[in-house]
Amino acid sequence: MKYISRNLFNRIAAVFITALLCLNLSGCSLLGSKEEELTPEQRSYLAMSSYEAEYLYPDPYSVSNHLCVTSTDVSISGYEQNGVSGATGLFDVTNEKVLEANGIFTKQYPASTTKLMTCLLALKMCDMDEIVTVSPNLENLDKDSSVAGLKVGDQVTVLDMLYALMLASGNDAALALAEHIAGSEESFAALMNDTAEELLCTGTHFVNSHGLHDEEHYTTAYDLYLIFNECIKYDTFNTIIDTPSYTGTITRENGSQVLKEWEATNYYFKGIVDLPSNVTVMGGKTGTTDEAGACLVLLSRDNSGNPYISVVLNADNKTSLYREMTELMEAIPES
């Protein structure tokens, strides 16, 4: 990868050059901080962002990589972090600002928000009409897995598999996509980690495509923002997450075809919780395990259509998760 293969001199030079350029930048507090004030994780973000800017953004005013960046917790008027979650973040995509941040660099278990990376890799590497065949390895999935109703030998298009992945949160769909793309889940996890590094996710390590708990499978709220921010560049992704339910076509091993309806796990779409009053919820990805708590990453838009990414991780329960997410989104200022 290009980040690893460059020599150390160039990397140090890139950091030094960007540090000088930061005198001319605004809205980029991490790059403007003194090194001794930063945590090791934040210094890593600084180095990688600078390195990326040196080679991909020759315009010095683009060294922020068009990302929302902060070095400290950030508070937004109208919202108070109440301690029921492990991390919260609110990111103004248009203006490249972190509006709220609490624990966004802290290690968290992602549960099924992992599937954002699985989806991203499928969008990047597959044609949507490719056929995915479910392998016998399906039988090795944990019996507590959330599944989309797939069976060994089933054939499904990549597009329909993505609906099964993102709406029904099917671990069976995640495994099938991983094997289709990389040959094995182990190889796919390596690909996930390579892609995470390319996206500057310095607090993330994946070992599977679905998010079932593993001590070595972790991320941060900020890294999930980075991954989600990349996902929303794809129109297909935005269409999928904005769909409350979808009927996919499965070709069984015997050649017969069945229709399968997958519904979004998002409580806003299911009508279980009230929608926020000031924004339109466009969709996102849920995740829940005992170790990860209740997690949610969402895209919303204000009345002018400006996009915002909000993240809540490790909430005590789903009631607390959606209450906190609603309060977070309702703090978005009027445009």
Catalytic residues: 112, 115, 169
How many other CB atoms are found less than 10 A from the CB of residue 68? 24
What is the phi-psi region of residue 213: left when phi exceeds 0, alpha when psi lies from -120 to 50, beta otherwise?
beta
Query: What residues contact 104, with CB distance under 8 A and at least 6 apart?
Result: 70, 87, 88, 89, 98, 220, 221, 222, 225, 311
Q: Are 206 and 224 in contact (CB under 8 A)?
A: no
The helix/strand/coil state of 47 is helix
Neighbours of 257 (CB within 10 A): 9
Distance CA 105, CA 177 (A): 29
Q: Strands across the sheet with 257-263, in order?
A: 131-133, 155-157, 245-251, 257-263
Distance CA 22, CA 19 (A): 5
CB atoms within 10 A of CB 194: 14
Q: How far is CA 212 from CA 84, 296, 324, in A?
A: 22, 16, 24
Tokens 């919202």 -> residue? 79
